[in-house]
């Protein structure tokens, strides 16, 4: 049974709800759909599942009318698996668009129309269910019946093309169902009647495999290719011979930021193994953290846009007068999916070259196509520029944080409550958790916040000593219990120690673990459930591509599976490391934010304590679309 059906504008104004259904929905499934799916550019998905408080579980399906800016949403119990919902939504969309007026806010007369559409859809679904239960298949058509059906389908197809945008979607779906029911009908006659569209598999395979009669390989072409390869090899050999043998370079010390070269390369502290020696604060000499500096966006992107505009203008001048006139006249055309495909394909390839995961790029393009399909293209506007503008708006919306990322304010709020603010750093092996934990500690110290480190990486050899070195250089306390201890208990005792010492923040270092390592993921889930930290930061490399999706999705999945509470604690934020090594391959930031919904809170961009930045969303979007 259908629970509810709503029609609202993209601005959030509810135009019509089904009073006949009148079922009170538990929780807020519509709000969850808008927040988690529509605003996150996941509108191309088939459905959205919502688990309401209690035992209720809903499935939501939706469709758009992009030209009018309307959203149609149907809600039903997930256990029912209603098959007629898509058909009903298409019919409601068609009928409501005919009576829609932007100046109106009430549509009481639509109640009777919906009641009729609902009955028709349920009747068709019941008929199909009875046929399925009876196990009766429709009788096979004879050769003459197949011919007449093919001719009738051709006439109907021509009528649909002539009818334009207001075609009957219910009939389309009925035709689709009938095609499925009559799927395997008289293969020989179908092949004969549809000979233009269908080809024999043997003919296709024959062309691919180079069989006789399908275009055999020409021997003369092979000889030409061999001759061409020989010339290339000869030219390459001559060029190599002409080059002189390179001189052997002596290794020099690396110079950072135009600073004078250092003759001393051994910077080992003269303290003993336990680090009890009193040393000066080395980190204090490194200056202000980049987190507190306002980043000035370079004008290179604007210059690039100007160059693109000039080149586009030059190419327009080269075109003939007729083609330019045709482009201007062809404005106000309704965008169809076939029109958008070339521009979306080019945009998907561009995103993938920027290290965006293929799955994410594909979903983004599908969502853009769903949001643009049916809209009218303005005069003197190209499809590619329209698609690019829609993608830029979507990327800005995805990368902009949906929650507060002001950690300093949260720290002061926890301090007023008399408890330390706890941050847990998690991630896979070798991404730089301990190093970036020290950078965050240095940034907090600059804001007069007392910090304590908790060495909960009791698995990797040297992990405690590494964190001890950072604590000694920053002159902050560290809580450690050595190796082979339970990290969850160590973290709990560290938080208790911080409460006794009035420390403002506890930074918990954890062992690196692969997302498929179940024992270590179970131990991490125990640490988070036992201590309930204020912030769980996932530390990930900016170098990863497709693996970013796998890492974050499996981390969240494991934390949810091993959680002891109904409301599982998942990843709250992302810290991207090694951002200074990727040039313009910034796609990992988009992949991680899209798959998890968590914001990028820190960006590591160097080796020193000051090399920690905020993510510049506008700069990332311009780099992705450049």
Taking only the tens place, the pLDDT of each residue in 118-171 is: 888 888 888 888 887 776 544 444 444 434 444 444 444 444 343 444 444 434
| Residue 176 vs residue 609, higher pLDDT | 609
* pLDDT classification of 3: cutoffs 50, 70, 90: confident
What are residue 509's DSSP bridge partners?
Answer: 425, 455
* Percent of the chain whose predicted confidence (pLDDT) is above 90: 31
**Of 96-110, 266-280, 467-481, which has the strongest mean pLDDT?**
467-481
Position 275 scores a pLDDT of: 45
In the chain, how long is the greatest CA-to-CA distance?
99
109 in Cβ contact with 99 (< 8 Å): yes
| Residue 40 vs residue 340, higher pLDDT | 340
Phi first, then psi: give them for residue 613, nearest 5 degrees: -130, 170
Secondary structure of residue 236 in the 3-state scheme? helix
Position 286 scores a pLDDT of: 67
For helices 487-500 and 518-531, give the axis angle rounded to 10 degrees. 30
Cα separation, 358 vs 404, in Å, equals 29
Q: How many CA atoms lie within 13 A of 223 on its CB side?
A: 3
- Judging by beta carbons within 10 Å of its beta carbon (0-12, 13-18, 19+), is residue 590 exposed, middle or buried? buried
Q: How many CA atoms lie within 13 A of 606 on its CB side?
A: 13
**Of 110-124, 146-160, 202-216, 327-341, which has the strongest mean pLDDT?**
110-124
Question: Of 194, 101, 110, nearest to 146 (Cα)?
Answer: 194
Report CA-CA distances (Å) from 606 to 258, 262, 580, 581.
15, 19, 6, 9
pLDDT at 409 over 60: yes
Q: Give me the torsion for CA of 521, 522, 528, 530, rounded to 10°.
A: -160
Cα separation, 509 vs 454, in Å, equals 6
Give the mean model confidence (pLDDT) for residues 17-35. 80
Position 377 scores a pLDDT of: 79
Question: Of 577, 537, 543, nearest to 555 (Cα)?
Answer: 537
pLDDT at 506 over 50: yes
Question: Of 55, 37, 54, nearest to 46 (Cα)?
Answer: 37
pTM: 0.64
Position 136 scores a pLDDT of: 57
Among 89-93, 233-237, 503-507, name the one with the lowest average pLDDT: 233-237
Cα separation, 624 vs 356, in Å, equals 9
**Of 22-36, 312-326, 510-524, which has the strongest mean pLDDT?**
510-524
Position 225 scores a pLDDT of: 54
Position 208 scores a pLDDT of: 40
- Judging by beta carbons within 10 Å of its beta carbon (0-12, 13-18, 19+), is residue 71 exposed, middle or buried? buried
| Residue 189 vs residue 133, higher pLDDT | 133
**Residue 251 gets which letter from DSSP?**
P
545 in Cβ contact with 355 (< 8 Å): yes
Report CA-CA distances (Å) from 54 to 1, 22, 35.
19, 20, 21
Position 102 scores a pLDDT of: 86
**Of 239-253, 374-388, 465-479, which has the strongest mean pLDDT?**
465-479
CA 278 centroid distance within chain: 48
Question: Of 106, 86, 443, nearest to 290 (Cα)?
Answer: 443
pLDDT at 346 over 80: yes
Position 139 scores a pLDDT of: 46
Containing H/E element for 345?
Answer: helix 337-353
Position 466 scores a pLDDT of: 93
pLDDT tens sequence across 598-626: 999 999 998 899 999 999 999 999 999 98
DSSP string of 462-500, one letter each residue: THHHHHHHHHHHHT--EE---SSS-HHHHHHHHHHHHHH
75 in Cβ contact with 33 (< 8 Å): no
Phi first, then psi: give them for residue 540, nearest 5 degrees: -135, 150
Mean pLDDT over all residues of the chain?
76
Give the mean model confidence (pLDDT) for residues 318-329. 45
* pLDDT classification of 220: cutoffs 50, 70, 90: low
Cα separation, 502 vs 132, in Å, equals 70
Cα separation, 527 vs 458, in Å, equals 13
CA 440 centroid distance within chain: 27
469 in Cβ contact with 277 (< 8 Å): no
pLDDT at 492 over 90: yes
| Residue 375 vs residue 593, higher pLDDT | 593
299 in Cβ contact with 348 (< 8 Å): no
373 Cβ contact list (under 8 Å, min separation 6) = 64, 66, 335, 336, 337, 340
| Residue 544 vs residue 184, higher pLDDT | 544
pLDDT at 442 over 90: yes
pLDDT at 185 over 80: no
> Could you give the angle at the alpha carbon of 587 between the alpha carbons of 581 and 593, nearest 5°?
115
> Could you give the angle at the alpha carbon of 150 between the alpha carbons of 147 and 154, nearest 5°?
140
pLDDT at 198 over 60: no
* Percent of the chain whose predicted confidence (pLDDT) is above 70: 69
Position 130 scores a pLDDT of: 82
* pLDDT classification of 65: cutoffs 50, 70, 90: confident
């Amino acid at each position: 049974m259908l629970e509810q059906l709503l029609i609202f504008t993209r601005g959030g104004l509810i135009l019509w709800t089904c009073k006949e259904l009148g079922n009170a929905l538990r929780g807020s499934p519509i709000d969850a759909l808008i927040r988690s799916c529509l605003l996150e550019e996941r509108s191309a998905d088939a459905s959205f599942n919502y688990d309401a408080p209690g035992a209720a579980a809903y499935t939501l399906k939706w469709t758009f009318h992009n030209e009018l800016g309307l959203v149609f949403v149907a809600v039903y119990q997930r256990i029912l698996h209603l098959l007629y919902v898509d058909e009903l939504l298409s019919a409601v969309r068609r009928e409501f668009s005919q009576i829609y007026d932007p100046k109106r806010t009430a549509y009481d007369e639509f109640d009777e129309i919906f009641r009729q559409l609902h009955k028709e859809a349920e009747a068709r679904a019941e008929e199909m269910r009875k046929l399925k239960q009876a196990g009766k298949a429709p009788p096979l058509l004879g050769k003459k019946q197949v011919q007449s059906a093919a001719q009738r389908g051709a006439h109907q197809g021509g009528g649909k093309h002539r009818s334009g945008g207001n075609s009957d979607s219910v009939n389309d779906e009925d035709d689709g169902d009938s095609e499925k029911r009559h799927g395997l009908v008289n293969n020989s006659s179908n092949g004969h009647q549809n000979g233009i569209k269908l080809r024999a598999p043997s003919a296709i395979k024959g062309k691919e495999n180079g069989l006789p009669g399908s275009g055999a390989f020409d021997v003369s072409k092979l000889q030409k290719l061999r001759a061409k390869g020989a010339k290339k090899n000869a030219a390459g050999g001559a060029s190599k011979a002409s080059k002189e043998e390179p001189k052997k370079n002596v290794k020099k010390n690396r110079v950072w930021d135009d600073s004078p070269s250092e003759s001393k390369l051994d910077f080992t502290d003269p303290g003993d193994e336990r680090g009890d020696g009193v040393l000066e604060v080395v980190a204090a000499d490194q200056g202000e953290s980049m987190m507190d500096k306002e980043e000035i966006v370079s004008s290179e992107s604007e210059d690039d846009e100007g160059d693109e505009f000039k080149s586009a203008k030059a190419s327009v001048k080269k075109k003939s007068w007729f083609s330019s006139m045709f482009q201007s006249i062809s404005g106000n055309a309704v965008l169809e999916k076939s029109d958008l495909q070339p521009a979306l394909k080019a945009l998907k390839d561009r995103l993938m070259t920027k290290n965006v995961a293929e799955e994410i790029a594909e979903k983004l393009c599908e969502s853009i196509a769903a949001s643009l399909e049916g809209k009218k293209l303005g005069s003197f506007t190209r499809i590619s520029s329209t698609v690019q503008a829609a993608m830029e708006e979507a990327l800005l919306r995805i990368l902009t944080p949906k929650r507060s990322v002001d950690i300093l304010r949260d720290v002061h709020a926890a301090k007023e409550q008399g408890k330390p603010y706890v941050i847990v750093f998690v991630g896979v092996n070798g991404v730089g958790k301990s190093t970036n934990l020290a950078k965050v500690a240095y940034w907090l110290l600059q804001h007069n916040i007392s910090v304590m480190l908790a060495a909960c990486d009791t698995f990797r050899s040297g992990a405690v000593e590494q964190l001890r070195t950072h604590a000694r250089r920053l002159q902050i306390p560290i809580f450690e219990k050595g190796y082979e201890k339970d990290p969850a208990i160590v973290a709990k005792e560290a938080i208790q120690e911080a409460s006794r010492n009035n420390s403002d923040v506890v930074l918990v270092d954890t062992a690196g673990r692969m997302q498929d390592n179940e024992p270590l993921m179970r131990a991490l889930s125990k640490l988070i459930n036992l201590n309930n930290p204020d912030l769980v930061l996932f530390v990930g490399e900016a170098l990863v591509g497709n693996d970013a999706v796998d890492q974050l999705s499996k981390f969240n999945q494991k934390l949810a599976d091993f959680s002891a509470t109904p409301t599982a604690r998942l990843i709250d934020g992302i810290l991207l490391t090694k951002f200074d090594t990727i040039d313009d391959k910034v796609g990992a930031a988009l992949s991680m934010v899209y798959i998890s919904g968590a914001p990028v809170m820190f960006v590591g961009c160097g080796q020193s304590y000051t090399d920690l930045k905020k993510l510049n969303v506008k700069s990332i979007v311009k780099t992705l679309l450049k």
